[in-house]
Amino acid sequence: MTSRVVAAAVCGLMLLSGCAAPSTPESGAITATSCGMSLTFAERPKRVVTLDQTSTETLLALGLADRMAGTSNLKTKVAPQFAADYRRVTVLSPKLLTAEQLRAANPDFVVASFAEQFTRDRVGSREELHELGVPTFVSAVDCPSGDASPFDRLHQDYRTLGQIFGVEERAEKLISDQQEALSKASSRNIAGEPKVLWLYSVFNDVPYVAGGTGIPQAMSDLLGVRNVFADVDEHWPEVSWEQVAAREPDVIVVGDLSERGAPGDSADEKIAQMRRHPVMAQLPAVRNNRIIRVSGIELDPSVRSTHALAQVARALADISHDL
């Protein structure tokens, strides 16, 4: 009964804010909308399969380990707070799940952060799965519509999933925790408006940096700092060291992907490359080691992003006063 009431309340809120809302009609079937497709559940999903690490961690954060039939596609280690729950769930594949593996796992719901998981060469299209009676969920973050910030979109995911699984209270708790982390970070005393470079990875000596559409941009806005590549209309554009140097960042945030294990993935290696580069080495940010290390995966939108945000906010509060 209480869950119905909360659901109705949440539903009302969502309708007010113009978002597609899950609902529980009289028949008892649960309906929801995810990235342009309507989902219908005869009953609460009990055998959900996740297709990427961020969706896995979202469901674990909502305490849904016992409803999960399997996970796949782990990029790095799961966050320590989820490790115990993660071990309770079957790992269907450490890498990308195939269409056959997904069907063999007999899921009643499939959740992904990225729409690209639902292609024919991966698990099959969303339409194919819906025809088989298996609803699919794609994170609002990867759903191009409106101009809500990535954090708001994540919160929308938690609400929708909370409704589908009937764990609305946990969803609201998670959202309020996240909101609290956001306000705490934004209240840090950062002097001036420092120029920040968000460096995700370096591949073949080509830096991949945060552009104006990803979550680092949302973090920059929240903290009141300037992302030096805000003008590039992509998540992770590929730029050159010369372009980076020309934009004279005051501070560099470096994503550490050492658990991914490819050469050049660790923050140390990326920093060493900058120190070796004749132009980059002259930048004050490099010379004075104004470099902040965060976990690379936390620079992708997920329940863990607030962790990186807090680290960056704390470090910037220190550094900015020395600029």
d(CA 55, CA 213): 20
Give just the sign of the alpha carbon dihedral 154, 155, 159, 162.
Answer: positive
Could you tell me the smallest distance in angstroms from the CB atom of residue 149 to another protein? 21
What single-letter DSSP state applies at residue 261? Answer: -
Query: In the stretch 123-142, what mask flags binding to another protein with x, by CB under 8 A?
Result: -xx--x---xxx--------
Could you tell me the smallest distance in angstroms from the CB atom of residue 257 to another protein? 12
Burial 203-234 (b: 16+ CB within 10 A, else e): eeeebbbbbbbbbbbbbbebbebbbbbbebee
Could you tell me the smallest distance in angstroms from the CB atom of residue 171 to another protein? 28
User: Which residues between 90 and 109 bind another protein (CB under 8 A)?
Assistant: 92-96, 98-101, 103-104, 106-107
Give just the sign of the alpha carbon dihedral 125, 127, 133, 135.
Answer: positive
Q: Which residue has the tokens 């690379």?
A: 296
Of the pair 75, 170, the CB lying nearest another protein is at 75
User: Which residues between 289 and 308 bind another protein (CB under 8 A)?
Assistant: none
Q: What are phi and psi for residue 122, nearest 5 degrees? A: -105, -105
User: Which residues between 194 and 253 bind another protein (CB under 8 A)?
Assistant: 201, 203, 208, 234-239
Cβ 48 vs Cβ 107: under 8 Å = yes
Of the pair 14, 134, the CB lying nearest another protein is at 134
User: Which residues between 12 and 71 bind another protein (CB under 8 A)?
Assistant: none
Q: Which residues bind another protein (CB under 8 A)?
A: 92-96, 98-101, 103-104, 106-107, 116, 119-122, 124-125, 128, 132-134, 201, 203, 208, 234-239
